[in-house]
């Protein structure tokens, strides 16, 4: 299996204030926001000039299974990798003994999280 890093996603405690910071102060372009009903979360996507680096700001409601108290310095939420076949990747992860932390189906996409040996969520997205 081959995987390509596609962006960095990190957790924020206030989504609107964070969007304002990254757009007004750092000059990033806001490219969209969406709610993910199954996670009780919301993500805002931003990119740097000329299609450069992309970040995802992740916010989870208190009753979300993914919510945790915000601790400064521990805001990295997940590292996403683009893959060709999610089902095959999950079979490989399972056969290698890696924990699958969850699968999410969005309106037009599907992705899953596999924990690395340190407990970091690695998002696999097709």
Q: Which domains does the chain have, with CATH numbers?
A: 4-125 (3.10.180.10)
**pLDDT at residue 96, as a whole number:** 92
Does residue 107 register a pLDDT over 80?
no
pLDDT band at 111 (very low <50, low <70, confident <90, very high): very high
The pTM is what? 0.68
60: β partners: 41
Both tokens of 68, joined, read 């945790």
The residues that bridge with 33 in the sheet, in sequence order, are: 44
Above pLDDT 90, what percent of the chain?
39
Evaluate whether 61 touches 40 at the Cβ level (below 8 Å): yes
**For residues 53-78, b (16+ Cβ closer than 10 Å) or e, as one string?**
ebbbbbbbeeeeebeeeeeeeeeebb
Question: Quick one: pLDDT at residue 108?
Answer: 81
Tokens linked to 94: 């399972």
pLDDT, residue 73, reads: 66
């Amino acid at each position: 299996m081959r995987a390509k890093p596609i962006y960095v996603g990190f957790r924020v405690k206030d989504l609107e204030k964070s969007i304002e910071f990254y757009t007004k102060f750092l000059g990033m372009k806001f490219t969209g926001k969406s709610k993910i009903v199954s996670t009780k979360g919301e993500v805002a996507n931003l990119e740097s000039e000329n299609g450069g680096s992309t970040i995802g700001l992740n916010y989870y409601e208190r009753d979300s299974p993914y919510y945790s108290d915000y601790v400064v310095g521990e805001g990295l939420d997940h590292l996403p990798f683009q893959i060709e076949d999610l089902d095959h990747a999950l079979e490989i992860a399972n056969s290698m003994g890696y924990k699958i932390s969850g699968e999410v189906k969005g309106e037009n996409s599907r992705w899953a999280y596999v924990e690395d040996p340190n407990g970091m969520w690695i998002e696999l997205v097709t």
